[in-house]
Amino acid sequence: MTALPSKNCSFQYQSHQAPRSLDATCLLLLIILGKVLLNVLILRVKRKDTSWSFMEYFCFSLALVDLLLLVNISVLTYFRDFVVLGIRFTNYHICLLTQIVSFAYGFLHYPVCSLACIDYWCNLSRATKPSSRWQKLLYLLTVILTWISVLAYVLGDPAISASLKTHKTSVNQCPSYVSTQSHWLSLSMLMILSVAFLISWQEVVALIQAIRIASYKNKAVLYFPFPPHTSYTVSPRAVLLPRLIVCFLGTWFPFVALQVLILSLRVQIPAYIEMNVPWLYFVNSFLIAAVYWFNCHKLYWRDGMFPVDPFINWKCCFVPVHRLKQVERPMSIIIC
pLDDT tens-place string over residues 174-212: 777 888 999 999 999 999 999 999 998 888 888 788 776
Q: Are residues 20 and 137 in the same domain?
A: yes
- pLDDT beyond 50 at 232: no
Asked whether residue 153 is domain-assigned, the answer is yes
| pLDDT tens-digit readout, 44-56 | 988 877 778 899 9
Q: Are residues 27 and 83 in the same domain?
A: yes
Which of the listed residues 158, 179, 200 is the one where a domain comes to its end? 179
| pLDDT number for residue 135 | 86
User: Which of the two residues, 218 and 68, has the higher pLDDT score?
Assistant: 68
Q: Are residues 312 and 293 in the same domain?
A: yes
Output phi, psi for 292, to 5 deg: -60, -45
Asked whether residue 5 is domain-assigned, the answer is no
Buried residues in 81-100 as b, exposed as e (16+ CB within 10 A): eeeeeeeebebbebbbbbbb
Q: Are residues 198 and 96 in the same domain?
A: no
Tally the residues of the chain: 336
Answer yes or no: are the C-beta atoms of 24 and 18 closer than 8 Å: yes
Asked whether residue 4 is domain-assigned, the answer is no
Q: How confident is the model at residue 166 (pLDDT cuts 50, 70, 90)?
A: low
Q: Are residues 199 and 55 in the same domain?
A: no
Q: How confident is the model at residue 7 (pLDDT cuts 50, 70, 90)?
A: very low
Asked whether residue 3 is domain-assigned, the answer is no
- 3-class SS at 325? helix
Q: Are residues 197 and 170 in the same domain?
A: no
pLDDT above 90 coverage of the chain, percent? 36
Q: Are residues 203 and 327 in the same domain?
A: yes
Q: What is the DSSP letter of 314?
A: G
- pLDDT beyond 90 at 223: no
- In 3D space, the residue among 291, 141, 299, 322 whose CA is nearest the CA of residue 235 turns out to be 299
| pLDDT number for residue 158 | 78
Q: How confident is the model at residue 130 (pLDDT cuts 50, 70, 90)?
A: low
Instruction: Please report, for residues 134, 178, 245, 250, 276, the alpha-carbon distance to residue 102 in angstroms, rounded to integers and kept in the order given.
Output: 32, 8, 33, 32, 12
pLDDT above 70 coverage of the chain, percent? 69
Across the chain, mean pLDDT equals 77
Which of the listed residues 131, 154, 179 is the one where a domain comes to its end? 179
| pLDDT number for residue 167 | 57
Asked whether residue 2 is domain-assigned, the answer is no
Q: Are residues 120 and 255 in the same domain?
A: no
Q: Which range among 81-90, 210-219, 242-251 has the greatest average pLDDT?
A: 242-251
Q: Are residues 137 and 217 in the same domain?
A: no
Q: How many domains does the chain have?
A: 2
Q: Which range among 9-18, 211-220, 307-316 has the greatest average pLDDT?
A: 307-316
Please compute the mean of the pLDDT values over residues 310-318 and round it to a whole number: 74
Which of the listed residues 148, 179, 210 is the one where a domain comes to its end? 179
Asked whether residue 163 is domain-assigned, the answer is yes
| pLDDT number for residue 219 | 62
| pLDDT tens-digit readout, 23-45 | 777 888 899 999 999 999 999 98
Q: Are residues 282 and 322 in the same domain?
A: yes
- Give the separation between CA 325 and CA 205, rounded to whole angstroms: 28
Residue type, 213: I
Q: Are residues 75 and 58 in the same domain?
A: yes
Quickly count helices (H) and strands (E) in the chain: 10, 7
What is the span of the domain harbouring residue 211? Answer: 184-333
Q: Are residues 173 and 207 in the same domain?
A: no
| pLDDT number for residue 5 | 42
Asked whether residue 1 is domain-assigned, the answer is no
Answer yes or no: are the C-beta atoms of 112 and 146 closer than 8 Å: yes
**Per mean pLDDT, which range of 152-156, 226-230, 261-265 is the poorest?**
226-230
| pLDDT number for residue 301 | 52
